[in-house]
Amino acid sequence: MPRTDPTRWLIPYAPRPAAELRLVCFPYAGGTSALYRPWSEVLPATVEVWGVEPPGRGARLGESPVDQLRVAVGAVSQELERSPGAPYVLCGYSLGSLLAFEVARELRRRGMSQVAGLIACSFPAPHLAPRLPAADVPDSEYRKPCRDGWIGSE
């Protein structure tokens, strides 16, 4: 059973002190770390799965959500910095990919060597970001495929 300390961002599922690798999983916008709980049951015992639980979600539902990326990046980076042990891979889905990417960049700036990799799902690479904010794209454009799959990139 994961801990539910509402002051922490990281929840280790099935703690494995002897794990060779930690998989730190960032949920999509509006999601919770519970999305990744089943992974700890199917991955090998050499992998310890940690879920990122943002304020205002899951076990931290009673807290005010964080609405600034830099605040979330700083908080997660600081907690990872205080968590020595096995190297980790950051894994994000959708907006969680952006957060994982920025955390990896921040940890690199801090000289942290534990980051062994980054898995980003359902989010564009930084150099392929859409050129138009979604709010500025006409409804008819959402149905038109673009050359590289992103609205406003033609």
Q: What positions carry a catalytic annotation?
A: 94
- Same domain, yes or no: 48 and 110: yes
Q: How far apart are CA 53 and CA 6, in angstroms?
A: 9
- Our count of domains for the chain comes to 2
Q: Say what the pTM is.
A: 0.78
- Same domain, yes or no: 107 and 144: no
Q: How far apart are CA 88 and CA 116, in angstroms?
A: 6
- Same domain, yes or no: 84 and 110: yes
Q: In sequence order, what DSSP letters do the residues of 98-118 get, joined into one string? A: HHHHHHHHHHHHTT---EEEE
- Same domain, yes or no: 61 and 103: yes
Question: What is the domain extent for residue 52?
Answer: 10-123
pLDDT tens for each residue of 7-40: 589 999 998 988 999 999 999 998 999 999 999 9
pLDDT of residue 150: 42
Burial 91-130 (b: 16+ CB within 10 A, else e): bbbbbbbbbbbbbbebbeeeeeeebeeeebeebeeeeeeb
